[in-house]
Structure 1
Amino acid sequence: MTMGLSINGFLYYGAWAPSHSSTPVFVCFDVRHERLSFITTEVLVLERYTILIEYKGKLAVIVPHHLGRGSYFDRFDLWILEDVEKHDWSRQTFELPMSLPFSLGMGKSMTSQGTNKAGEIVFSPTTLPYRAQPFYVFYYNPDTKDMRRVRIHG
Structure 2
Amino acid sequence: MSESDTNTPIYIPIDLQINTLSRLPVKSLLKFRCVSKLWSSIITSQNFQKRQLKIASSEAAPRLLIAFQDFYRRKLTIVSSPNPNASLSSSTSCCVVPYKDLSLLNVKGKKVYNAGRGLICVGGYTNVGLCNPSTRQLHAFPDYKFKDYPTVFPRPKYMFGYDLVEDQYKVLAVDDLPWRLEHKVIVLYGASRKDTYPPDSNSIIVSFDVRLETFDIIKVPSKILSMHYENMWIVRWMDPTDKILINYRGKIGVVEKPRKGSFRMWVVQDAENEEWSMKSFHLPQSAHGLDFNVMDTFYTGEICLVPKQLSDPFRLFFYNLDRKSMRSVTIEGLPMSELMRFRDVSVTVSDYYESLMFF
* TM-score where L is the length of structure 2: 0.34
State whether structure 2 residue 245 is matched by structure 1 residue 52: yes
Identity, in percent, stands at 32
CA contact (8 A) 1:135 1:151 kept: yes
State whether structure 2 residue 216 is matched by structure 1 residue 37: yes
Map of 1:4-153 to 2, 5 A cutoff?
Answer: 10-19=186-195, 22-41=201-220, 42=224, 44-46=232-234, 47-67=240-260, 74-97=261-284, 98-99=287-288, 101-102=290-291, 110-125=292-307, 133-153=312-332
Q: Deviations over 1:75-115 (max 9, x none)?
A: 1111112223333221111011122633xxxxxxx323222
Structure 1 SS opposite 2:187: strand
In structure 2, runs of 5+ residues without a counterpart are 1-156, 164-185, 226-231, 235-239, 335-359
Compute the displacement of 1:24 (Å).
Answer: 1.6
CA distance in 2, matches of 1:50, 1:89: 16
CA distance in 2, matches of 1:49, 1:112: 9
Partner amino acid, structure 2, of 1:119: G
CA contact (8 A) 1:7 1:59 kept: no
CA distance in 1, matches of 2:288, 2:295: 18
CA contact (8 A) 2:256 2:294 kept: no
Partner amino acid, structure 1, of 2:193: A
CA distance in 1, matches of 2:321, 2:159: 21
In structure 1, runs of 5+ residues without a counterpart are 68-73, 103-109
Distance 1:29 1:51, change over 3 A: same
Distance 1:48 1:14, change over 3 A: same
Partner amino acid, structure 1, of 2:187: L
Select between 21-30 and 74-83 the one with higher mean Cα deviation: 21-30
CA distance in 2, matches of 1:37, 1:27: 6
Q: Deviations over 1:111-153 (max 9, x none)?
A: 2322222211111246858xxx312111111222111111112
Partner amino acid, structure 2, of 1:13: Y
Structure 1 SS opposite 2:241: coil
Compute the displacement of 1:32 (Å).
Answer: 1.8
Number of aligned residue pairs: give it.
136
CA contact (8 A) 1:55 1:114 kept: no
CA distance in 2, matches of 1:143, 1:116: 13
The structure that has the greater radius of gyration is 2
Q: Deviations over 1:32-88 (max 9, x none)?
A: 222222211145213431122211122211113533xxxxxx111111122233332
Partner amino acid, structure 1, of 2:233: V
* TM-score where L is the length of structure 1: 0.71
More helix by share: 2
